[in-house]
């Protein structure tokens, strides 16, 4: 039996906890460390956990844990990951790897110094069954040269107060919503980011502006290979959470719309219908965690590198800078 512990909470922490505790065979969560009252209540009443702590140190002192899931604030990841590795645990990290590039580089070296432990960052889009055939079509050249990619991602902010008084319950629109798309585009194309330009606002949630954040943002990026990418991310959604993706190549295009209130899988290559099956019972988080638990149990290789998470963070930081300064940021410099 693989035993897991969770540091922190949040919406993704809940998804991770449910998958590990209820859905993956031969795996269970035995403890959690969080000051979040919702997380503590869920751990006690929904999961039936006995080991519920305020301090990560108390959780790590159990010495019964195979996997530690880091779901805390990105600014705390360096400390929490170092303590978890020292305690002898494998590491599963909710995105981002860290809140800044310097900490990401430190974590790369730290994790490399523990080669017997499996460590990965949660990028569930890489395990979305709807995107895997898109990845294959692009890499096999069936779309021809890629001209542009449009990524639209929507996710509502959990309501914990008045709309103009939203507490900091998100990681920021660039480190959260856009980070997944940043990594997805890099994974799909195999190309690197060169420049980014961002504009955003906080109309519905003005308190986010005081946190140097936005409820809606648009980013235009240029990748190597002369690929243009248009990112739109918003916390204001009337169609339900989810994402839309369009990949346009010289030989055809693929369009996917996967929003809660508007699920469509209508795609085309060279004017021919191209359908992606929606009849899959496992969501991307469950597929990701199954793959990770299998790597821990059987010694399988992790499918992507910690450095990939650093690269995504680098772009998200550049987007944040562009948003705050109102100017294009060149990643090469």
Q: What angle do CA 55, 58, 60 make, to 5 degrees?
A: 110
The values of phi and psi at residue 171, to 5°, are -85, 5
pTM of the full structure: 0.90
Instruction: Please state the rounded mean pLDDT for residues 226-243.
Output: 90
Judge if 94 and 232 occupy the same domain: no
The DSSP letter of residue 131 is: T
Q: Does residue 71 carry a pLDDT above 80? A: yes
Instruction: Please state the rounded mean pLDDT for residues 86-98.
Output: 95
Contact (CB, 8 A) for 29 and 2: no
Judge if 150 and 276 occupy the same domain: yes
Judge if 168 and 253 occupy the same domain: yes
Judge if 57 and 189 occupy the same domain: no
Judge if 188 and 225 occupy the same domain: yes
Q: Does residue 266 carry a pLDDT above 60? A: no
How confident is the model at residue 269, as a pLDDT? 54
Judge if 163 and 28 occupy the same domain: no
How confident is the model at residue 211, as a pLDDT? 82
Q: Please give the C-alpha separations between residue 230 and each of 8, 25, 73, in angstroms, as whole numbers.
A: 32, 40, 27
Q: Please give the C-alpha separations between residue 330 and each of 132, 190, 225, 327, in angstroms, as whole numbers.
A: 30, 19, 16, 10
Distance CA 314, CA 179 (A): 10
Judge if 202 and 178 occupy the same domain: yes
Q: Does residue 215 carry a pLDDT above 80? A: yes
Judge if 176 and 245 occupy the same domain: yes
Judge if 171 and 117 occupy the same domain: no
Instruction: Please state the rounded mean pLDDT for residues 108-116.
Output: 96
How confident is the model at residue 164, as a pLDDT? 54
Could you tell me the residue range of the domain that residue 293 belongs to?
2-123+286-304
Instruction: Please state the rounded mean pLDDT for residues 264-271.
Output: 52
Distance CA 5, CA 141 (A): 42
Question: 227-234 and 216-223: which strand pairing?
Answer: antiparallel
Which pLDDT band, with edges at 50, 70 and 90, does 262 fall under?
A: low
CATH code for the domain of 222:
3.30.360.10
Q: Which residues pair with 4 in a beta bridge?
A: 29, 67
Name the token pair of 133: 């055939």
Q: Where are the beta strands (DSSP E) in the chain?
A: 2-8, 27-33, 51-53, 67-71, 90-93, 119-121, 146-154, 193-201, 216-223, 227-234, 242-249, 253-259, 262-264, 267-269, 272-274, 329-330
For 27-57, the pLDDT digits (tens) are 999 999 999 999 999 999 999 999 999 999 9
How confident is the model at residue 264, as a pLDDT? 52
Q: Among residues 37, 41, 42, 34, which one has the least CA distance to residue 76?
A: 34
Distance CA 36, CA 198 (A): 32
Judge if 140 and 69 occupy the same domain: no
Distance CA 138, CA 142 (A): 6
The values of phi and psi at residue 94, to 5°, are -70, 145
| Number of structural domains the chain divides into | 2
Q: Among residues 179, 57, 80, which one has the least CA distance to residue 126?
A: 179
CATH code for the domain of 49:
3.40.50.720
Judge if 100 and 53 occupy the same domain: yes
Judge if 37 and 105 occupy the same domain: yes
Distance CA 294, CA 274 (A): 32
Contact (CB, 8 A) for 65 and 59: yes
Instruction: Please state the rounded mean pLDDT for residues 243-255.
Output: 91
């Amino acid at each position: 039996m693989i035993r897991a512990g969770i540091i922190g909470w949040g919406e993704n922490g809940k998804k991770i906890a449910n998958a590990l505790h209820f859905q993956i065979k031969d795996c269970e969560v035995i403890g959690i460390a969080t000051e979040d009252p919702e997380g503590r209540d869920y751990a006690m009443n929904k999961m039936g956990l006995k080991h519920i702590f305020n301090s990560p140190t108390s959780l790590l002192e159990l010495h019964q844990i195979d996997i530690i899931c880091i779901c805390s604030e990105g600014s705390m990841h360096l400390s929490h990951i170092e303590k978890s590795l020292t305690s002898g645990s494998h590491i599963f990290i909710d995105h981002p790897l860290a809140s800044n590039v310097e900490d990401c580089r430190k974590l790369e070296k730290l994790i490399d110094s523990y080669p017997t432990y499996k460590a990965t960052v949660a990028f569930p889009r890489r395990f979305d069954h709807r995107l895997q055939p898109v990845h294959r079509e692009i890499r096999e050249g069936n779309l021809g040269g890629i001209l542009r990619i449009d990524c639209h991602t929507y996710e509502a902010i959990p309501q914990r107060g008045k709309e103009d008084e939203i507490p900091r319950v998100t990681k920021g629109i660039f480190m959260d919503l856009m980070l997944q798309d940043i990594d997805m585009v890099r994974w799909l194309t195999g190309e690197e980011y060169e420049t980014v330009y961002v504009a955003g606002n906080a109309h519905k949630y003005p308190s986010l502006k005081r946190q140097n954040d936005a409820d809606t943002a648009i980013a235009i990026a240029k990748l190597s290979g002369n690929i243009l990418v248009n990112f739109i991310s918003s916390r204001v959604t009337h169609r339900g959470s989810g994402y839309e993706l369009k990949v346009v190549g010289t030989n055809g295009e693929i369009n996917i719309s996967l929003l809660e209130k508007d699920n469509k899988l209508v795609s085309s290559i060279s004017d021919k219908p191209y359908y992606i099956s929606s009849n899959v019972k496992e969501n991307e988080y469950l597929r990701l965690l199954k793959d990770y638990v299998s790597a821990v149990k059987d010694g399988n290789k992790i499918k992507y590198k910690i450095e990939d998470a650093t690269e995504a963070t680098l772009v998200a930081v550049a987007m944040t800078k562009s948003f705050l300064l109102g100017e294009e940021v060149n990643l090469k410099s």
